[in-house]
Structures are given as C-alpha cells and as structure tokens.
C-alpha cells in the first residue's frame, strides 16, 4: 500500500477572540496518491479552513498534519513554505494570477521561486504545461486578456508548475460559468486519471462532487461523512 | 533577470506616476543637497584660501609669551613691592635678523621682517588714519600676494623715492591721490614726513584697500621713531595647514607671541564648523523629507499588492523573499532618484556659480562653488539609506501578512 500524501490527526482550529470560534473540530483523514476527493458542506462549515490546514497555509490549534509522513507541527514558516512550493499546488476560487505578469510568467513563478531549474528549463517547462491546457498561444497575454475559464486553467497550470503530487483546490469552479466549469473539472479529473496526481477540492456543487472518487462532508467543522465511491487504485 | 528584481521592477513600472513622484522627491533631495554642499564648501574653501592668501600664515610679534619679570622680582622673593618704577621694555623683536636666520634653518617656507605702524595720512586737506606696514621688497613677494595685487608700480618702486608709499586703490580714490602725488604721514610717535605715492594695489578686500599703505622698513622705523625696530616677522609656510604646529614651535624657540592664521581666525573657523553642522542638518532634513515619498510609494504598493503577496506566500515564497522584493523597490526608487539628482545637483551648482552679485566686503561677484565627488556620493549614500529604511517597514509588514486573511477576504 502507498504511503499517505497528507494525513490529518485530530486537527482542530479555533479562532481566538472575545468569543472563540471553532472552525475545524478534531478531523482525522488521509489523502492517498491518485485520489480525487471532494470536500463538501454548507457555507461556513469549515471546508476551506480544513483545506488551508491540509495545505499548511494555516496552523492547527491542536492536532497534527503530516505531509509525506512528516509532521509539520514543529516546522518553521520557512520549512512550511518549502513544502508548499515543492509538494503542494493551490487553486483558489478566483484565479489569483499576478495581473502585471504574462501567463507564461505566472506559470513560471513557482519554478523560479524554487530556483532549481535554469531559465531555459523554466521556459520549456512552462510552455509544456501551458500547451497541455491548450494555452500555448496565449502565453504572452496578461490575465485580463483571457476569459474566466482560461484564467482558472492558467491557475491550475501554475499549481502544476513544480510537479507537486497533490493539488488543493478551493471552490475551483465557484466563479465560472457551466462551460468553463466542465472544462476546469475535466482538467482536474485528468490530473488524477492521466497524470497520477491527487486532487482535493472544496466544492458546493454536489453534482461535481458525485463525479469524484471520494466525498467528505463537513458540518460545523466536523467530518461527518467520508465516502469512497471508487478506490484510488481502481480509478486509474 | 532575477525573480525578485523582476517582480520589484514590474511593480514600480506599473505604477509609473506614483513611482515618478517618489523619484522626483529623491532627485530633488539629492540635487539640492549636492548644490548646497557645493555652495557651502565652495564658499568655505574660498574663504579659507582668501584668508591664507591675504594673511601671513604665521605672525610673530614683539609681544612676549610670558610677561617680563621686573628686576626686583628676580632678586627678591618678596610678595609685594611698593614705590618701584617698572623697567620699560624697548618695543620690537630683539636681533630680528639673527632670529630670522635661526628660524630659516628649519621653518619650511619664507620669512620677512616688517614694521606695523599707524599714521594719519594727509592729502588735499583730507586726513585719514591708515595702517602703515614697513616691508622689505626683496622678500615681501615670498610671504604675501602684494606684488600680484599691484595695479600701478612694483615692489621695487619703493626704492624710487626717499619716502615712497604704495597705497590701496580705494584709499587713493578717496583722497584723490595718484602716482607721484606727495602725501604727508604723521605718526602717533610725533614723526611727520612727506611721502611719494609710487603705486597702488587692489587686494579685493575693501578694508585693506581703503586703509593700508606699504613703505620701506626704514621709512616705517622713522615713523615709529625707532631705528632698526622690527615689530613683526611674517612667515608663509609651504603647507598652510601646518602653520599651527610650526607657530607653536616658533613661540617656544623665540619666546615671542607667534600666531598662526588658524588661531588668528579661530572665531571665524568655529563659525564655519557651526555652519557645516547646520548645512548637513538641513541636507539631512531634505533627504529625510524625500524618503517620506519613498515610504509612501512602497506603502501604497504593499497595500495594493496584499492579494498578490498572499498568493506568492501561498505558492511558497518565503518571508524574506517578499521583504526583499519591496526593499528592492525602494532602492530602485532611491537609485533612480539619486542618478537624476546628480544631474540636477550639477546643473543647480552650475547655475549658482553663474549668478552675479555684489558684496560690500570684497570684489567677488560670483558665488564660489566646489565640485566634489564626495558630495555626490554622500548625498547618494544618505538617499539610499533613507530609501532602504523607508522601504523596510512596509516590506516587513508585507512579509508578515497572513495569506489566509487575504484569501478569505478576497473570496
């Protein structure tokens, strides 16, 4: 059996304040390779908060998140940044591309931040990734010259730039029309089916969630349901 | 291009108007700092050079360093004496030629004897009190610029008549005297003589040109009614800056009061120091004000870029990378401002040097300025340092942003 890519052990997140708010309560889960996971639940249930905890964008109040079996609790911010850069890819509801940079530059950004590839190799890799999303012709355009669906595709391409094993997506189709939604969802599914990535996506869309391999329901910060429709191993 | 530089450059480039305002702020600060430093140091250097040229570097007068002890003091160990007439000391430096010969063996420079006297100059019914300086024309050119200041006549003209005098051109103009005019000199010692004007000089200092006359040593000695008297030795050192040390040594050797030009003008030199403190304070304030512009632009950019900062951090950019991006942006503004400030500073200095004006104290009609690389580098250094500080605080705040707060807000 493959090792878990992400593992949450009794993770709780409480926002301190005059009235403390519990966002996530004692959640334990594992994300295995090649899993296509939907996190669903009502608004304010803690879906995105859980995703941010799994993606090391936030620190749990208690519990532990392990990436590739390694505890992240005692990691410094620099070490967590390194894990985000190499092991995780993020896609948000809005594309969040840097507006002054071209599509090519946006996709190259994580690779340049990692600094392991030469400038030439970065360009080649960025062109490859963009071509795989049929965005090669748009590489010199800026985000405002693309449609909403195309921008989100670029955001997925950027998340894949450093070839991370896991993509964490927060409502990736939440701001898209139905055609773009189908397009982006297809890309995410291909990442799992064709490229062997794991995708964990927060979504409100139960129709999309039902097409994914595993569904977790979060209510009031608790993981109330974790249902595997298709085993990760069979999905490929 | 390096990633950090690329992002920093893109940020400032896309805010051209705001960036330009900040750059103009730094440019103005650097430009005016350079101009002020050039003006202040230029006038200071010119002033000191004029002082050094106009005055003897060292003046040895017949005043003793220690007051003379009366003979009774030397003989008796008494606390007080009554009814004794103190011994009257003959004015003048003892054995001046021997003293000069002794000093010439080690003093790096030239020495000349002179006699300082006061007299009333009469001509065409006008009486004016003037300073009469008795000089030796053969050595005077070695210690002063009198020879170059002569408008009519030469130093050797003093030998032309039995009592010859060189007078300031303003003095000549005031009394209406010309070359070959005969004037009368009457000293405080009661001596009176007729003297022939053999030349005029123009030093550029109104006070000197209106109230000074040069005569031969012998003539001044007659006015003082002291044959052979020399009451001042004037020294011009090879390096004017060493005058103070040489002066101290001369004083110790001769026992006479020896004053360097620095000591003689101590008050003025202190005023210059004070002026420099004021100048650098003002220059610092100008650059500080300019740095507020830089702070403003970097704060604005970080504020506008909070979402991008959050995204970069979520992608895995480290805090120090984010901080460096914004510090680099501030430095880009600082560098561009400083580079343009050099041009502005140079042009302002040139413009200032070209201005004409009149001063009642001297003939200079152009403001003296000093072109020095030091001013440019100093202003640039301060501008970059203040840009760095101005950029650091917004950069630090940017690096401390919690990406989740921004992403939640955006969604």
The per-residue pLDDT for range B139-188, each reduced to its tens digit, is 999 998 889 899 999 999 999 888 999 999 999 999 999 999 999 999 98
pLDDT mean over A111-128: 90
pLDDT for B361 beyond 60: no
Does residue B98 form part of some domain? yes
B250 and B280 share one domain: no
Closest among B245, B213, B272 to B49, alpha carbons compared: B272
What does chain B come to in residues? Answer: 411
> CA–CA distance from A112 to each of A158, A206, B258, B323 (Å)?
12, 37, 73, 17
Cβ separation of B411 and A48 shorter than 8 Å? Answer: yes
Average pLDDT over chain B reads 86
Best mutation site among A58, A113, A159 for testing chain B: the one with the most B CBs within 10 Å? A113
A125 touches chain B (CB under 8 A): no
**Of the candidates B229, B261, B293, which is a domain's last residue?**
B261
Predicted local confidence at residue A234, as pLDDT: 55
- Look at B274 and B80; give whichever has higher pLDDT: B274
Does residue B71 form part of some domain? no
**What 3-state DSSP class applies to A171?**
coil
Cβ separation of A109 and B312 shorter than 8 Å? Answer: yes
Which of B3, B10, B13 is closest, CB to CB, to A113? B3
B104 and B208 share one domain: yes
Does residue B75 form part of some domain? no
Does residue B150 form part of some domain? yes
Cβ separation of A112 and B316 shorter than 8 Å? Answer: no
Does residue B298 form part of some domain? yes
Predicted local confidence at residue B345, as pLDDT: 94
pLDDT for B360 beyond 60: no
Q: Helices A148-160 & A119-132, crossing angle to 10 degrees?
A: 130
pLDDT mean over A155-165: 90
Report residue B1's pLDDT band, with 50, 70 and 90 as the boundaries. Answer: low
Which of B308, B315, B319 is closest, CB to CB, to A84? B315
Backbone angles phi, psi at A14, to 5 degrees: -115, 130
What are all long-range contacts of A203-209, with beta carbons under 8 Å and residues at least 24 apart?
Answer: A203/A38, A203/A39, A203/A40, A203/A171, A203/A172, A203/A173, A203/A174, A204/A40, A204/A43, A204/A171, A204/A174, A205/A173, A205/A181, A206/A40, A208/A38, A208/A173, A208/A181, A209/A38, A209/A40
B16 and B45 share one domain: yes
Predicted local confidence at residue A1, as pLDDT: 47
B338 and B285 share one domain: yes
pLDDT for B83 beyond 50: yes
Does residue B79 form part of some domain? no
C-alpha span between A103 and A77 (Å, rounded): 28
Best mutation site among A79, A85, A96 for testing chain B: the one with the most B CBs within 10 Å? A96
B242 and B363 share one domain: no
Predicted local confidence at residue B410, as pLDDT: 56
B2 CA to chain A: closest CA distance, Å? 9
- Look at B294 and B203; give whichever has higher pLDDT: B203
C-alpha span between B236 and B171 (Å, rounded): 27
B249 and B293 share one domain: no
B46 and B60 share one domain: no
Per the structure, how many domains does chain B have? Answer: 2
CA dihedral sign of residues B267, B270, B275, B276: positive
Q: Which residue of B has its CA nearest to A161?
A: B315
B48 and B172 share one domain: no
**High-pLDDT (> 90) share of chain A, %:** 51
C-alpha span between B16 and A21 (Å, rounded): 44
Report residue A231's pLDDT band, with 50, 70 and 90 as the boundaries. Answer: low
Cβ separation of B321 and A92 shorter than 8 Å? Answer: no
Which two tokens mark A148? Answer: 């909403």
B218 and B360 share one domain: no
Residue A132: CB partners within 8 Å, gap ≥ 6? A157
pLDDT for B298 beyond 80: no
Which of A52, A96, A174 is closest, CB to CB, to B307? A96
A109 touches chain B (CB under 8 A): yes
Closest among B280, B277, B322, B279 to B298, alpha carbons compared: B322
Does residue B236 form part of some domain? yes
**A170 to chain B: which residues are within 8 Å by CB?**
407, 411
CA angle A216, A46, A59 (to 5 degrees): 105
B248 and B286 share one domain: no
**Of the candidates B261, B293, B324, which is a domain's last residue?**
B261
The number of C-beta contacts closer than 8 angstroms across A and B is 70
What domain range includes position B102?
56-64+90-261
Query: What superfamily would CATH give domain A6-235?
Result: P-loop containing nucleotide triphosphate hydrolases (3.40.50.300)
Query: B-side interface with A, Cβ within 8 Å?
Result: 3, 6, 10-11, 13-14, 307-308, 311-319, 321, 403-404, 407-408, 410-411
Residue B103: CB partners within 8 Å, gap ≥ 6? B111, B233, B235, B250, B253, B254
Which of A81, A100, A105 is closest, CB to CB, to B318? A81
Predicted local confidence at residue B215, as pLDDT: 95
Report residue B105's pLDDT band, with 50, 70 and 90 as the boundaries. Answer: very high
B331 and B223 share one domain: no
**Of the candidates B208, B227, B261, which is a domain's last residue?**
B261
**A83 to chain B: which residues are within 8 Å by CB?**
316
* pTM of the full structure: 0.70
- Contact predicate A28/A10, CB 8 Å: yes
**A115 to chain B: which residues are within 8 Å by CB?**
3
Which of B307, B308, B316 is closest, CB to CB, to A84? B316
Predicted local confidence at residue B161, as pLDDT: 85
B41 and B174 share one domain: no
Report residue B348's pLDDT band, with 50, 70 and 90 as the boundaries. Answer: very high
Which two tokens mark B219? Answer: 């003539």
* ipTM entry: 0.85
Does residue B76 form part of some domain? no
Which two tokens mark B293? Answer: 């512009």
**What 3-state DSSP class applies to A23?**
strand
């Amino acid at each position: 059996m493959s090792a878990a890519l992400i593992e949450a052990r009794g993770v709780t997140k409480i926002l301190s304040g005059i009235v403390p708010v519990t966002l996530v309560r004692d959640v334990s889960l594992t994300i295995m390779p090649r899993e296509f996971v939907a996190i669903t639940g009502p608004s304010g249930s803690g879906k995105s908060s859980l995703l941010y905890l799994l993606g090391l964008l936030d620190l749990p109040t208690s519990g532990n998140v392990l990436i590739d079996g390694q505890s992240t609790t005692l990691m410094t911010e620099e070490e967590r940044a390194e894990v985000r850069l190499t092991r995780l890819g993020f896609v948000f509801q809005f594309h969040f591309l840097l507006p002054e940079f071209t599509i090519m530059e946006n996709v190259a950004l994580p690779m340049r931040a990692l600094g392991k590839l030469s400038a030439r190799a970065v360009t080649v890799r960025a062109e490859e990734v963009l071509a795989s999303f049929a965005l090669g012709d748009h590489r010199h355009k800026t985000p405002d010259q693309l449609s909403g669906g195309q921008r989100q595709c670029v955001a997925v391409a950027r998340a894949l730039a450093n070839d991370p094993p896991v993509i964490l997506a927060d409502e990736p189709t939440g701001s898209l029309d139905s055609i773009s939604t189908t397009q982006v969802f297809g890309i995410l599914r291909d990442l799992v089916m064709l490229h062997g990535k794991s995708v964990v996506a927060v979504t409100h869309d139960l129709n999309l969630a039902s097409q994914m391999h595993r569904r977790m329901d979060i209510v009031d910060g608790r993981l109330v349901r974790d249902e595997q429709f298709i085993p990760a191993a069979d999905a490929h | 291009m390096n990633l950090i530089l690329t992002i920093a450059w893109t940020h400032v480039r896309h805010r051209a108007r705001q960036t330009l305002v900040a750059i103009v702020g730094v440019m103005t600060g650097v430009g005016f700092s350079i101009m002020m430093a050039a003006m202040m140091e230029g006038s200071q250097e010119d002033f000191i050079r004029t002082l050094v040229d106009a005055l003897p570097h060292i003046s040895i007068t017949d005043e003793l360093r220690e007051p003379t002890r009366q003979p009774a003091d030397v003989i008796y160990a008494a606390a007080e004496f009554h009814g004794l007439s103190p011994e009257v000391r003959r004015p003048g430096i003892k054995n001046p030629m021997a003293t000069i010969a002794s000093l010439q063996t080690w003093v790096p420079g030239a020495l000349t004897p002179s006699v300082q006297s006061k007299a009333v100059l009469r001509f065409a019914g006008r009486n004016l009190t003037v300073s009469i300086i008795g000089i030796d024309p053969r050595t005077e050119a070695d210690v002063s610029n009198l020879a170059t200041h002569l408008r009519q006549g030469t130093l050797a003209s003093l030998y032309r008549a039995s009592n010859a005098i060189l007078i300031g051109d303003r003095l000549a103009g005031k009394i209406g005297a010309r070359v070959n005019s005969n004037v009368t000199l009457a000293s405080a010692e009661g001596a009176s003589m007729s003297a022939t004007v053999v030349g005029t000089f123009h030093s550029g200092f109104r006070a000197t040109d209106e109230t000074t006359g040069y005569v031969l040593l012998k003539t001044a000695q007659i006015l003082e009614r002291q044959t052979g008297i020399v009451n001042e030795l004037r020294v011009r050192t090879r390096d004017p800056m060493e005058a103070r040390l040489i002066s101290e040594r001369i004083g110790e050797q001769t026992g006479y009061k020896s004053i360097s030009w620095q000591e003689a003008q101590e008050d003025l030199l202190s005023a210059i120091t004070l002026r420099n403190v004021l100048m650098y304070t003002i220059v610092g304030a100008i650059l500080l004000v300019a740095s507020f512009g830089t702070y403003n632009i970097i704060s604005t950019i970080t504020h506008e870029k909070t979402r991008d900062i959050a995204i970069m951090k979520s992608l895995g950019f480290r805090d120090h990378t984010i901080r460096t991006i914004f510090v680099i942006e501030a430095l880009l503004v600082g560098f561009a401002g400083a580079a343009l400030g050099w041009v502005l500073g140079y042009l302002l200095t040139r413009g200032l040097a070209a201005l004409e004006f009149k001063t009642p104290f001297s003939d200079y009609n152009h403001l003296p300025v000093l072109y020095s690389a030091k001013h440019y580098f100093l202003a640039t250094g301060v501008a970059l340092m203040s840009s760095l500080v101005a950029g650091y605080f917004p950069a630090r705040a940017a690096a401390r942003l919690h990406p989740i707060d921004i992403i939640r807000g955006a969604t």
